[in-house]
Amino acid sequence: MVIAGAWSWRVLVIVGVIAVFVWMIIQLRIIVIPFMVALLVSALLVPFSSWLQRHRWPKWVAVVVSLVGFLVAVAGLFYLAVLQVIDGAPELRDRSIASYGQLRDFLLTSPLHLTEAQINGYVGDAVAALQQDSQPLLRGALSVGSTAGHIAAGLVLMLFATIFVLVGGSDIWRWVVGIFPRTSRRAIDGAGRAGWLTLTNFVKVQIFVAFVDAVGIGLGAFFLGLPLVVPIAIAVFLGSFVPVVGAVATGAIAVVIALVYNGWVVALLMLAVVILVQQIEGHLLQPFVMGSAVKVHPLAVVFAVAAGTLLAGIPGALFAVPVVAVLNVMITYVARGAWRETPRPTEGAVVAERGTADV
């Protein structure tokens, strides 16, 4: 009883501290989420900016080229997707109305003997259930940017944070390390560098995985004759940044469009393409490509995404896996005493360390 009581109050204190920390993050989400987005963007741009500087580009030119190139690429993707959707929206609306009418006529004349009132009731129940199930995701999205002002403020904060990380990220990190006691600075510094290497690898590999998902599902939609191929591929690319479920959720859009435009046979074929791409991701890309960069067990990925979605909606699902991966590497680095031998870990050392302690 004494041992159980001693462990109990310590566990309660730790859980309480974690709960207060999570509560503070949720309360400051308008600041925290743009900062975390800036870290992901910086993890992608810092290696490119450093490469330019190693090839004798002035630092400010390398930073401007990296940031402007990223903004142009993202704006181009969104512009292309919106342009395609605007052009195809009228036809999609007409096809949707026609498909709903055909389905209603089939149900009215089918052996089920459904009435108009029953069909309307079932449709209303389905819409209500969909709205209720999507509340956790929508809550996270709307709580961050419920107004145009919040969205604009978040974008400005993200851009400023990215610029400062690109310009003086090493100086900022040295200041953070200097806050801790002198005896622990070596471990904190090494753990932070190991976590940054992991985050950099995660972003690069996740972009590759998302590109493969987008190309696979996009080519399937193209060869099956679906409209809006480019918006479908862009949606899959963006959705794939949420591991495991992102590509399937956005691929469902392609299945619905196939059902509306081309009927249930093409929709089944499109569903087969989505499942095939997901299997390739799950059995080839995640274990061999992602596994070499971020050693996180698939079960941990699923629970991390679920917990992140429950706590913070879409932002929580997006940041869950990188947060778990970085914490895994940092805690392992400190716990195993690697900071005594490799105070400035390299990418090879971090990968080797992950290989001995998977989450």
What is residue 185's predicted lDDT score, i.e. its pLDDT? 86
Distance CA 164, CA 63 (A): 10
Structure-model confidence comparison of residues 306 and 100, the more confident one: 306
pLDDT per position as a tens digit, 235-264? 888 888 776 667 777 888 888 888 877 778
pLDDT tens digit sequence for 280-303: 876 677 666 665 666 677 677 777
Helix (H) / strand (E) element for 288: namely none
Residues 77 and 72: their CA atoms lie apart, in Å, by 9
Residue 358: is its pLDDT beyond 60? no
Q: Residue 225: which region, alpha, beta or left (left: phi > 0; alpha: psi -120 to 50)?
A: left
Domain boundaries, the chain: 183-359
Between CA 283 and CA 281 the distance in angstroms is 6
Q: How many CB atoms lie within 10 A of CB 321?
A: 24
pTM of the model: 0.74
